[in-house]
Amino acid sequence: MTGRLPQASAYARAGVDIVAGERAVDLIKPAVRSTWGGLAAAGRGDGPRVLGDLGAFSGLVALGNAYTDPVLVSSTDGVGTKLKVAIALDRHDTIGRDLVAHCVDDILTSGAQPLFFLDYVAMGKLVPERLASIVEGIAAECRANGCALVGGETAEMTDVYAADDYDIAGFIVGIVERDRIVDGSRIAAGDLVWGLESSGLHTNGYTLARKVLADFPLEDGYPGLAGTVGEALLATHRSYLPAMRPLLAEGIVRGMAHITGGGFEGNIPRMLPGGLAVELQWGAWRVPSIFDLIQREGRIEFAEMTRVFNLGLGWVFVTSDADAEMVRALTPDALQVGRVTEDDGEGARVRLLGAP
């Protein structure tokens, strides 16, 4: 892992704890290595695999010869102030899952399968067990998505972060054959819009949600929630790769949008060719109660809610009408949520029919 260990030995007196760094590396090694096997399984024939070992300056992944015209698809993300919820609840084993799943979903919009991941963790104080929890979450979600964790950097920055604070960023590289890239160009008016339900806020809207819920006890329940409000806020970002993989293999997906910051209007148009719009049918998917709580506590207008949150619809994709049967057979949890229409040029490109 590049720089995972701040090797300097004279740092303790200036606030960089080398012994803690070394213990952290020992703690995370097994988790990191556990991700390397899945990569080969993801490749066909002589597919990609991890070379080298921990401790080198960089992570090496051989592409192999299984690809004809490979395109590398990359993305970087953080988890925003969802971190503050994790810190408040002192639960650090899920935030890494959020980070990886968000990145996996971002490159999935192009049709890419994950290859490898690197993480950056900056902490006010390097607590080895906390870092290990974070990295174990990263490794678990990497394994679940067939992605190799090949590098990471841990920085201890006592005068940037409060002692208990930290920030994390992730970086993913995936791969897709050039003729299998999904870019929305085949989308046409009349196509079906499908949705996959989110697991909650994912990693967006936490600055607003936390402000609204500042005086609401995280350990309390709320009607419709299975657990506490804190647990609902910390629910991990869903990876849509398992649900989409069979559809992508069939080549029937014409466009995909990951509903992140900006909500429906901010993300769905990113997959649409010019001149087209989308009508979504409100009620076609379930809105988790946590959004109801946020809206009520913050007295937020519905239109605002749709621009900040995914409101239960974390993933949208488009197929032709003719492929509806195949979608239902291959991805039973896909919901038909709307239609592609002509854009009348007079307002939003996403219209929410039947909304409150």
Query: Distances from the Cα of 232 to the Cαs of 134, 143, 289, in angstroms?
Result: 19, 24, 9
Does position 115 interact with a copy of itself (CB under 8 A)? The reply is: yes
Binding segment (CB under 8 A) for a copy of itself, from list 131-139, 203-211, 329-337, 343-351 = 203-211
| 125 close to 12: Cβ distance less than 8 angstroms | no
> Both tokens of residue 348?
């939003």
Q: Which is nearer to a copy of itself, 173 or 280 (CB)?
A: 173
| Contacts of residue 295, Cβ cutoff 8 Å, sequence gap at least 6 | 302, 305
Binding segment (CB under 8 A) for a copy of itself, from list 26-34, 72-80, 234-242, 315-323 = 72-80
CB of 111 to a copy of itself, least distance (A): 10
CB of 325 to a copy of itself, least distance (A): 28
CB of 74 to a copy of itself, least distance (A): 5
For 155, counting Cβ atoms within 10 Å of its Cβ (0-12 exposed, 13-18 middle, 19+ buried), the class is: middle
Report the distance separating Cα 108 and Cα 327, nearest Å: 17
Site for a copy of itself in 171-200 (CB under 8 A): 171, 173-174, 178, 181, 183
The residue from 159, 325, 333, 344 that contacts a copy of itself (CB under 8 A) is: 159
Report the distance separating Cα 26 and Cα 17, nearest Å: 15
The residue from 19, 160, 188, 226 that contacts a copy of itself (CB under 8 A) is: 160
The residue from 35, 267, 289, 331 that contacts a copy of itself (CB under 8 A) is: 267
DSSP 242-298: HHHHHHHHHT---EEEE--TTHHHHHGGGGSPTTEEEEEETTSS---HHHHHHHHHH
The residue from 37, 44, 74, 217 that contacts a copy of itself (CB under 8 A) is: 74
Site for a copy of itself in 299-328 (CB under 8 A): 300, 304-305, 307-308
Does position 273 interact with a copy of itself (CB under 8 A)? The reply is: no
CA 2 to chain centre: 23
Q: Which of 100, 38, 113 is nearest to 70 (CA)?
A: 113
Determine which helix (DSSP H) or strand (DSSP E) holds 211, and give its type and residue range: helix 206-212
CB of 245 to a copy of itself, least distance (A): 17
Site for a copy of itself in 205-264 (CB under 8 A): 205, 207-208, 211-212, 257-258, 260-263
| 86 close to 234: Cβ distance less than 8 angstroms | yes
Does position 128 interact with a copy of itself (CB under 8 A)? The reply is: no
**Beta strand 113-123 pairing with 148-156:** parallel
The residue from 8, 19, 41, 163 that contacts a copy of itself (CB under 8 A) is: 8
Binding segment (CB under 8 A) for a copy of itself, from list 14-22, 186-194, 233-241, 283-291 = 14-22
N residues, the chain:
356
Binding segment (CB under 8 A) for a copy of itself, from list 27-35, 70-78, 279-287, 319-327 = 70-78
Binding segment (CB under 8 A) for a copy of itself, from list 71-79, 247-255, 278-286, 343-351 = 71-79
The residue from 66, 155, 348, 355 that contacts a copy of itself (CB under 8 A) is: 155
For 249, counting Cβ atoms within 10 Å of its Cβ (0-12 exposed, 13-18 middle, 19+ buried), the class is: exposed
